[in-house]
Amino acid sequence: MIMKPVAIVTGGAGFIGSHMVDLLLEKGFSVRVVDSFIGGHEKNLAHVENNPDVSVERIDIREITADNTIFKDAKFVFHFAGIGDIVPSIEQPLDYMEVNVQGTARVLEAARQNKVQKFVYAASSSCYGLADTPTKEDHPIEPMYPYALSKYQGEQAAFHWHKVYGLPVNTVRIFNAYGTRVRTTGAYGAVFGVFFKQKLAGKPFTVVGDGTQARDFIYVTDVARAFYAAADTDKIGETFNLGAGDPQPINKLIELLGGDVVYVPKRPGEPDCTWAEIGKITTQLDWKPTVSFEEGVGKMVAEIDHWNDAPLWEPNSIAKATETWFKYMS
């Protein structure tokens, strides 16, 4: 009997992680999911619940030890686990350092001790701060809030394990991922979750600023494909920017969804445009985006009932939720 190769997905019950699980199964892997189920959700894995090639370890990455058996004989590790959002990171910076930095170090050490063939770290384009666009991988680093700092320090830890211990590492700096299974609850900030709930409730869309700000949205299945390409390559010790390379204004999303608009104040420290220069990933990993923005939004609208239980944000609640943002970022 031929044994299937093993891949580990930390944060595998989350938005991107669950799509990574799907792709790995398609590629013929046995997948081990590591997730605390604080940010991830069982429903994201419901469709593979009875698949014998999927196992789930319910554990916080801060509790992972180097001899954890789930890492035994693993070929690839895809590290998505962590905590996100800007405002909570400003309010609780130590939590972000503990999970996104110390937790990452524990996953790295487990991967090293078990001699995995490739470790791919989910980095964040937030490390660039208010960047020049299009943004290349060698752009100066300027994290502007604790979430961005913690993700960048986690990335630096990954490269340190590569330099000192020889762990084969690549990192992928994600710009603006979107798609089905995107998180629906938690802190204010994820534009799709906010708008979809408002559409379901018949409320106007709360547009920040004038809506001309643009984001380099990349559909989640294209994200998963990029991460697989970063693992299934001879290249080691590389950083790749990941976006569609085609920024879309928020007003374009409003146009696709259709509905009334109410405007809320622009937030300090937010870029007018995010734009990944993707020449490196397309050339070196033979990857390119395949899902257009219109198609991706359409896929999400087809599952809009997923947002029925999401919080409904309105101008007053948004103002309250972002008080800390304006206080520290102004």
Domain carrying residue 128: 6-177+218-242
The pLDDT of 215-229, averaged and rounded, is 98
Rounded Cα gap, residues 104 and 84, in angstroms: 14
The mean pLDDT of the chain is 95
Tell me, yes or no, whether 21 and 118 share the same domain. yes
- DSSP letters, 173-212, are EE-EEE-TT---SSSTT-HHHHHHHHHHHTPPEEEETTS-
Tell me, yes or no, whether 30 and 172 share the same domain. yes
| Domain count of the fold of the chain | 2
6 φ/ψ angles, rounded to the nearest 5 degrees: -110, 135
Tell me, yes or no, whether 100 and 35 share the same domain. yes
pLDDT digits (tens, 9 = 90+) for 136-149: 999 999 999 999 99
pLDDT digits (tens, 9 = 90+) for 84-110: 989 999 999 999 999 999 999 999 999
How sure is the predictor about 189, in pLDDT bands with cuts at 50, 70 and 90?
Answer: low
Which amino acid does the sequence have at 247? Answer: P
Tell me, yes or no, whether 210 and 188 share the same domain. yes
Which residue out of 147, 178, 188, 219 is catalytically annotated?
Answer: 147
- Whose tokens are 């050339």? That residue is 283
The pLDDT of 10-30, averaged and rounded, is 98
Tell me, yes or no, whether 124 and 232 share the same domain. yes
Rounded Cα gap, residues 230 and 285, in angstroms: 7
Q: What percent of the chain has pLDDT over 70?
A: 98
Tell me, yes or no, whether 76 and 123 share the same domain. yes
Tokens of 98: 């503990």
pLDDT of residue 273: 96
pLDDT(201) > 70: yes
Tell me, yes or no, whether 184 and 315 share the same domain. yes
Question: Is residue 282 situated within a structural domain?
Answer: no
pLDDT of residue 188: 61
pLDDT digits (tens, 9 = 90+) for 36-74: 999 889 999 999 999 999 999 999 999 999 888 999 999
pLDDT(185) > 70: no
Catalytic-residue membership of 328: no
